[in-house]
Chain A
């Protein structure tokens, strides 16, 4: 059912079968450390380059999710996947080993939200029976693509964030998984629009993405008629600690107060000792945090209604050099337990 311009609620919600995550060693030492399915001891994972390592992480995450779901490759109708590498090679190279249809997605770090939205729509409409939604990022491949060589001795600015090494995969289905007390469903969502408030500092992604996150949140609550208190918890993707503050500021300015159970996956990701400044970021940030931490809470019934809002900054390495400001995007996915 369409609500307003960009929101909708499903008559036939998509069921979440399971989630699976693989992360790097630093992420394993972070706040979600005990909740990941597999923590690597070496972020190269026996590969020759970090790009190939990210590809392997992505591939093995999808395989792990399928195994956990008790599903064969042939039963999976569609793979929705994305990452941050140029031409999203981590996803498409990972897809080489599967027989399923593949739709490659890119919305920067909001790709996981995009995948969940499209996946749940296709399942709700009956176009596919099962699909996987996965995203990955790798600190070392992102650093070389967007910033500087790893060994270059530069200082990190206090507004910077740390790209998460890892991949998360969620399996969606038309039928509820058997033998579970709680059935987790994607019940609706709000598609984000590109918002650019003129932030041009690529070391301050939180400030670039916060207006998009606020826009999506405000639109979601207005169009669905739900109040922020409808949800047990609201999670944005990777705004970081400072980005969270900005979202609260914008929402307050627009007359909407975010409840105390508003969190940010990036801000929660690492411990203070890990020196990541504002917290985690990257396409793997919200996908690993969701599948390891949030989904488990939903499956245990500790949370009943969650709004997940992955956020992305849509820039390339060259656009800031060409004096372009940084557009942001955020998608809201409503996840409820029945």
Chain B
């Protein structure tokens, strides 16, 4: 059998992820995580009425990162991710999950070459692109704005 014909057959018959189901679930879960974030922000605002806007968003992010890490640690975040896909990856809780999960995984190889070295195997590209993008935006802002 020729390669091209086989690859074409595989392409056509491979079981595929249901787009509608994926989009729906990630929309609901992603939205829900954002709602929880908003709820946390509102609660902080209620507790500390004269908190600054920057402080409020930082505090909310910190709490969400904690929650993402916590639920990764107790082994629930990966189960959520199985259904939610992008819905649980894109919010900041997903970023926490991507750092805590390799840190847990490589704990057995020791602190230096295990946890610390492998912690950013998944999140590394996000951090690199984030820093590069911020430098570019910063330069643009410095010269043109």
Where the two chains meet, the residues of A that have a C-beta atom closer than 8 Å to any C-beta of B are 48-49, 144, 148-159, 197-199, 204, 207, 211, 242, 245-246, 249-250, 253-254, 278
Bound state CA distance, A278 and B13, in angstroms? Answer: 14
Interface of B with A (CB < 8 Å)? 1, 3, 6-7, 9-10, 13-17, 22, 72-73, 75, 77-85, 88-89, 94, 97-98, 100-102, 104-106, 108, 121-122
B72 with A151: CB separation less than 8 A: yes
Complex Cα gap A158–B77 (Å): 20
**B105 A149 Cβ-Cβ under 8 A:** yes
B10–A153 CB distance below 8 A: no
Q: How many Å from the CB of A244 to the closest CB on chain B?
A: 12
B22 nearest CB across to chain A (Å): 7
If over half of B's interface residues share one DSSP class (helix, strand or loop), that class is named, otherwise mixed; here it is helix
By secondary structure, the A interface counts as loop
Q: Which of A149, A198, A254 contacts B102 (CB 8 A)?
A: A149
A163 to B98, CA, bound (A): 22
Given the contacts A197-B6, A198-B3, A204-B10, A155 and B81 also touching, CB distance less than 8 Å: yes
A246 in contact with B100 given A153-B77, A157-B17, A198-B3 (CB within 8 Å) = no
User: A153 near B78 (CB under 8 angstroms)?
Assistant: yes
Q: Is the CB of A151 within 8 A of B1?
A: no
Whole-angstrom distance between the alpha carbons of A156 and B104 in the complex?
Answer: 21
Closest to A155 in B: B85
A residues less than 8 Å from B72 (CB atoms)? 151, 153
B9–A155 touching, CB < 8 Å: no
Residue of A nearest to B73 (CB): A151
**Docked-complex contact A155 and B17, CB < 8 angstroms:** yes
Minimal beta-carbon separation of B41 from chain A (angstroms): 23
Indicate if the CB atoms of B101 and A149 lie closer than 8 Å. yes
- 11 A-B Cβ contacts within 8 A? A148-B101, A150-B104, A152-B122, A153-B81, A153-B89, A155-B81, A155-B83, A159-B15, A199-B7, A207-B14, A211-B6
